[in-house]
Amino acid sequence: MVSDDVYPGWEEIYRDNVERVYRIMFAKVGNRPDAEDLTAEVFMAALRPLRVSASVGEVRAYLVATARTVLAAHWRRTLGVAVTTLDEDSAQTMFTTVGAPVGPALDNPARAEAILAALPDRYA
């Protein structure tokens, strides 16, 4: 069941969701500076169209959708390729694990090995 709770204002929306959005971005880009910039972009993009009267669930869903759009634009600028997937499972996990470690503690050796193995030869 979806909660009918609403945020009192924008400051509360930001405070309750900034860490969640940051986690999504960090998980996708893998570095703090880009994750911080993209998180700011998400909130700036959501500022105008997002209704403060929307329920908490609606706000979070809108922020995830906005994060997907911002991330796609980032990859398009960075790689020249449109990357438009942000799997809902990882986004949902990010929204339910606030307080978990951020940064290198999130990565494990197997994930690091897989990422390194996928790099082109010139990076090896």
Percentage of the residues of the chain whose pLDDT score is greater than 70? 73
Tens of pLDDT, residues 26-65 = 999 999 999 999 999 999 999 999 888 999 999 999 999 9
In this prediction, residue 18 carries a pLDDT of 97
Q: 80 lies in a domain?
A: yes
Q: 71 lies in a domain?
A: yes
- pLDDT higher than threshold 60 for residue 14: yes
In this prediction, residue 79 carries a pLDDT of 83
As for how many domains the chain has, the answer is 1
Residue 57 belongs to what domain range? 10-99
Which residues are CB-contacts of 42 (< 8 A; sequence separation ≥ 6)? 21, 25, 63, 66, 67, 70
Cα separation, 75 vs 27, whole angstroms:
14
48 CB-contact burial (10 Å; exposed 0-12 / middle 13-18 / buried 19+): exposed
Whether residue 90 contacts residue 38, with contact meaning beta carbons closer than 8 Å, is answered with no
Bridge partners of 55, per DSSP, are 6
| CA dist 105 → 5, 28, 41, 48, 65 (Å) | 33, 15, 25, 35, 26
Q: 63 lies in a domain?
A: yes
Tens of pLDDT, residues 66-101 = 999 999 999 998 887 555 555 665 555 545 544 545
With both helix axes pointing from N to C terminus, report the angle between 10-29 and 32-47 in degrees, rounded to the nearest 10.
140
- pLDDT higher than threshold 80 for residue 17: yes
Q: 112 lies in a domain?
A: no
In this prediction, residue 90 carries a pLDDT of 55
Q: 104 lies in a domain?
A: no
Which residues are CB-contacts of 66 (< 8 A; sequence separation ≥ 6)? 42, 45, 46
